[in-house]
């Protein structure tokens, strides 16, 4: 793996030099945009609106439109000097219980590896977090964007889980949601039995992107001149009147498969 950032973790007066590595990767199909008539690839061309001509990357800069209407150009040096400390620091601000954090805030994982001089304080922070059961809320800058995340131990590595800010998480207040007063206790008991039958230990290796396999199958069929056929049926809403019967049938089906 290639490090995408170098800097330090800071908690209190302790600075731990580290490297940051991406902890996730995309598993999507690499699809190209094609011209429908001749199936040739479509290229993105950067065109200057004033001159109506293609502009090479060497002539392109980043700019922000000021209130006056004028564009202010920002260079890579500007992003760096905006806060030299923050661009090279994962600053742990607080320690909290991870269970207190709403899962909607989590966004992307990264791995932290210590520099040679940071091995001992890295191990110290890792073991202290394990024993405390806490995670560190950290502030940092990555790809010219101020971010927050949690620093948590995972076996022998420290993981930085990037999080969304509160203003980036939408409220669900506008949604039309049902209340629970119309539910019967018998229905809840059957639903709990069904949950219990499907309960197991979490194993991430168990879950695969089967939809991606279906897309690859369609691609192979079309490559061989075969017209793909739809797989399965569109799910239909459950009949509310038959909810009890559906729950009982689900329990029986689960027992049959287990047997």
Above 90 in pLDDT, residue 153?
Answer: yes
Predicted confidence band of residue 85 (pLDDT cuts 50, 70, 90): low
pLDDT, averaged across the chain: 87
**Domains, the chain, ranges and CATH?**
5-27+81-167 (2.40.290.10), 182-198+242-259 (no CATH)
**7-11, 94-98, 217-221, 236-240: lowest mean pLDDT where?**
236-240
> What was the pLDDT predicted at 183?
83
Q: Which of 86-95, 122-131, 176-185, 241-250 has the highest mean pLDDT?
A: 122-131
Please state, in angstroms and rounded to a whole number, the distance separating the CA atoms of residues 228 and 27: 23
- Mean pLDDT value of segment 203-222: 82
Percent of the chain with pLDDT over 70: 94
Helix axes 185-198, 243-258, angle to 10 degrees: 20
Token pair listed for 113: 């590896």
Q: Which residue, chain included where needed, has tokens 């001992």?
A: 120
Above 70 in pLDDT, residue 83?
Answer: no
**44-48, 75-79, 117-121, 129-133: lowest mean pLDDT where?**
75-79
SS3 content of the chain, % helix, strand, coil (to 5): 35, 30, 35
Q: What is the H or E stretch that residue 65 is in? A: strand 62-65
Token pair listed for 205: 């290796």
**Long-range contacts at 247-256 (CB < 8 A, ≥ 24 apart):** 247/187, 247/190, 247/191, 247/194, 248/190, 250/194, 251/190, 251/193, 251/194, 251/197, 254/194, 254/197, 254/198, 255/197
Report in angstroms the alpha-carbon separations of 3 from 103, 139, 197. Answer: 27, 19, 44
Q: Which residue, chain included where needed, has tokens 């954090």?
A: 101
The residue ranking higher by pLDDT, 142 or 247, is 142
């Amino acid at each position: 793996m290639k490090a995408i950032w170098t800097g330090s973790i800071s908690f209190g007066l302790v600075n731990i030099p580290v490297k940051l590595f991406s902890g996730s990767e995309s598993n999507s199909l690499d699809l190209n945009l094609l011209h429908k008539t001749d199936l040739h690839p479509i290229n993105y061309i950067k065109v200057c609106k004033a001159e109506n001509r293609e502009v090479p990357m060497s002539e392109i800069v980043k700019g922000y439109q000021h209130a006056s209407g004028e564009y202010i150009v920002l260079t890579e040096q500007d992003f760096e000097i905006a806060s030299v400390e923050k661009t090279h620091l994962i600053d742990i601000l607080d320690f909290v219980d991870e269970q207190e954090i709403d899962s909607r805030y989590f966004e992307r994982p990264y791995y932290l590896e210590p520099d040679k001089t940071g091995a001992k304080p890295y191990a110290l922070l890792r073991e202290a977090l394990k024993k405390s059961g806490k995670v560190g809320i950290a502030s940092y800058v990555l790809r010219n964007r101020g971010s927050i995340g949690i620093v948590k131990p995972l076996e022998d590595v420290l993981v930085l889980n990037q999080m969304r800010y509160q203003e980036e998480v939408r409220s669900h207040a506008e949604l039309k949601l049902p209340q629970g007063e119309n539910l019967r206790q018998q229905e809840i008991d059957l639903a709990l039995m069904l949950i219990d039958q499907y309960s197991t230990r979490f194993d991430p290796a168990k879950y695969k992107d089967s939809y991606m396999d279906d897309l690859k199958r369609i691609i192979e069929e079309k490559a061989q001149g075969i017209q793909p056929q739809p797989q399965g049926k569109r799910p239909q809403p459950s009949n509310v009147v038959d909810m009890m019967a559906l729950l009982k049938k689900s329990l029986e089906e689960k027992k049959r498969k287990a047997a």
